[in-house]
Structure formats: C-alpha cells, structure tokens
Amino acid sequence: MCQPLIVILGPTASGKTTLGIELARKFNGEIISADSRQVYQGLDLGSAKVENIKPKQRTYFQRKMGYCLAQNVPHWLIDVIDLKKEIFSAGEFRKMADKVIADIAKRKKLPFLVGGSMLYIDAVVSGFSFAPPVSAKIRKDLAKKETDELKKMLFQLDPYAYKKIDLKNRRRIERALEVKIATGKSILEFQKKRKKYGTLKLGIHLPRKKLYRQIDKRVDERMGQGMLEEVKELLNKGVSAQKLISLGLEYRYLTQYLIGEIPDLEEAVRALKGAIHRFVRRQLTWWRKDKEIIWIKNKREAVGEIRNFLS
C-alpha cells in the first residue's frame, strides 16, 4: 500500500492552520507546511506563520527541515530559507517534503500536508519532476528587466509556457525563461508526474462573502499586530524592495507604501484586501479543476473522511 498522505487545503483565511492542528492531534499526525512564504525566515505576520517553538535539542535533520512545535504539534518546512540569499522553488520544496514524509512515516505517524500554495501541493501530490538549477548570471540578467519585457520574451521564446503559467507571478515568468535559456527546453517538459503517495485531499469550503469578511478582518488584525513594522525591519536588514514586492500580497503593497509608490497607508491596505480577494479567486479556480478534492465544511466531516480513507 502507498504511504498515506492527508492534504488540508483551502483559500487564504479559511482556517486551514487550525483545522490541520486539530486533525493532526486526533490522528497522531505531524504537519508539513505547504506555504511558499512560510519557508522563508522573517516572513511571519504577512505569511500567517504559526507561533512556534524551536526546541534547543533539534537534530541536524530537524534544523535543516524546519522542525518546530506549534500548539504542541510537530510542524515542518517552516523558516528553512534565508530570504536575502536564496530563492526557493516548488521542486526544492517537493524534495524536502518527500524526506520529511519518509521520516514521519518511519516513526509511525500520519503526515498532513497543510497549506494554500497550489503549486507546492501539486508538486508533492503529483510527484512532479522539475527543471535543473540555472546559472546565477541568467537569473541576475532577468532580474534587471521589467515584468512586461519578461512577458514579451516568454511569448517569443516559449509561447506554450506563456499560455500555461501564471503571468501575474513575476517569479514564475523568470523561472520559465531561466529554464528555456539554460536548457533550450520548455519548463513544461520537465513537469512529469510520478505519484508516490496514497492521498486524501480535503478542501475547506466557505461562502465567498464570509471568506472576504474573514480576509479583511485578518488584514486589519495583522496591521494592528505590527505587519508594517515587519516589512520595515526586513528592508532595514537589507532585503531588497524588489525581492519583497516579488513575494506579492502583504509584502508587495506595504513595501510599495514604504518606498513611496503608494502614497497613503489606507490606500495600500485597501489595495491589499482587493488583491487577496483576487488571489482567493485564482486559488478556487485552480482547485475547481481537481476532481480528487473532497470539500468539507467542518472538522466533523473531515474526521469522517479521514477515517474512511484510512480504513
């Protein structure tokens, strides 16, 4: 039998973190965070990172794989990357997640993959293989160009990828160009699938209006908790404005305010809320195509589905 893997997914602010922790407790599980920003050190409030404790006696493997405890539940792949020095890809995430899942299974625990980063989740569940790393020079040359120029290059060099990838995500455009320039092949040619796990995918369903209210409330709460100060501190530590803007959402709009591209903080917050609403629509559009997802409304339904799956 394939190694079982429980996936808890859902749009931003839908309650994935809380549900994942409750289910991991009930089923003797451990959580792998599937979030493209929680892997970075220093992105805390803006990525909705769980408050966590990093035990002093962590092994080398635990330190490398971002092991921590949140509400006394083991979490993995949190704070593993230095934001100033490294760029992290979905392929690297899959490799690390595979090692963590193997470790969890070896200790007779149940792995839960919890998050909202669509590509990260698909990379693990579908077993995508990814294109090899490319030279720093190619990456630096592309980083100097405007986003519109990168889009034109991609259309000319790899029109198939141009139609398939998220053109609102600059990093996705850069990566497609890096691969095409370095290998001569489309990034899509590398995305082959080799499934390793028996997977149950549970998606959290919330009415759209309620979800938007929760998003707006959470943005206001984070602003009160010091999200603007978090972005200021990252800039002061030497993280470039361009890097923060490329992370999107909270880091994009608050950085644009701090460097003067958005003149008013209230305007930046309004723009941020609207951008998160649009991002949620993209998440739901992506997942609507996946017929394997079972949409649940509460913990009771989730528990029932997991029990049926494990039996």
Same structural domain, 202 and 169? no
Residue positions counted in the chain? 311
Indicate the burial class of 116 (C-beta count within 10 angstroms; 0-12, 13-18, 19 or more).
Answer: buried
Strands 73-76 and 68-70: antiparallel
Whether 213 maps to a domain, the answer reads no
Same structural domain, 60 and 202? yes
Same structural domain, 202 and 296? yes
Distance CA 61, CA 80 (A): 11
Same structural domain, 31 and 85? yes
Per-residue pLDDT tens, the chain, 311 aa: give them. 689 999 999 999 999 999 999 999 999 999 999 999 999 999 999 999 999 999 999 999 999 999 999 999 999 999 999 988 767 888 899 999 999 999 999 999 999 999 999 999 999 998 877 777 788 889 899 999 999 999 999 999 999 999 988 898 998 899 999 999 999 999 888 776 678 899 999 999 999 999 999 999 999 999 999 999 999 999 999 999 999 999 999 999 999 999 999 999 999 999 999 999 999 999 999 999 999 999 999 999 999 999 999 99
Helix and strand element counts for the chain (H, E): 14, 7
Same structural domain, 48 and 107? yes
Same structural domain, 74 and 161? no
Q: Which of 104, 150, 152 is nearest to 124 (CA)?
A: 104
Same structural domain, 78 and 162? no
Whether 225 maps to a domain, the answer reads yes
Same structural domain, 225 and 275? yes
Q: Which of 34, 46, 39 is nearest to 80 (CA)?
A: 39
Please give the helix or strand (H or E) that residue 264 lies within, else none.
none
Whether 285 maps to a domain, the answer reads no
Q: Which of 121, 118, 92 is nearest to 32 (CA)?
A: 121
Whether 215 maps to a domain, the answer reads no
Torsion of CA 234, 239, 240, 246, to 10 degrees: -80
What pLDDT is stored for residue 2 in this prediction?
86
Name the token pair of 136. Answer: 């720093």
Whether 212 maps to a domain, the answer reads no
Q: Which domain holds residue 17?
A: 3-129+192-207+291-310
Distance CA 49, CA 253 (A): 19
Number of domains in the chain: 3
Distance CA 67, CA 54 (A): 7
Is the distance from CB of 177 to CB of 154 less than 8 angstroms? yes
Is the distance from CB of 197 to CB of 4 less than 8 angstroms? yes
Give the Cβ contact number of residue 55 at 10 Å.
12
Distance CA 304, CA 301 (A): 5
| CB contact burial 21-44 (16+ within 10 A = b; e otherwise) | bbbbeeeebbbbbbbbbbbbebbb
Whether 286 maps to a domain, the answer reads no
**CATH number for the domain including 157?**
1.10.20.140
Is the distance from CB of 20 to CB of 101 less than 8 angstroms? no
Name the token pair of 58. Answer: 């962590």
Sign of CA dihedral 79, 80, 83, 87: negative
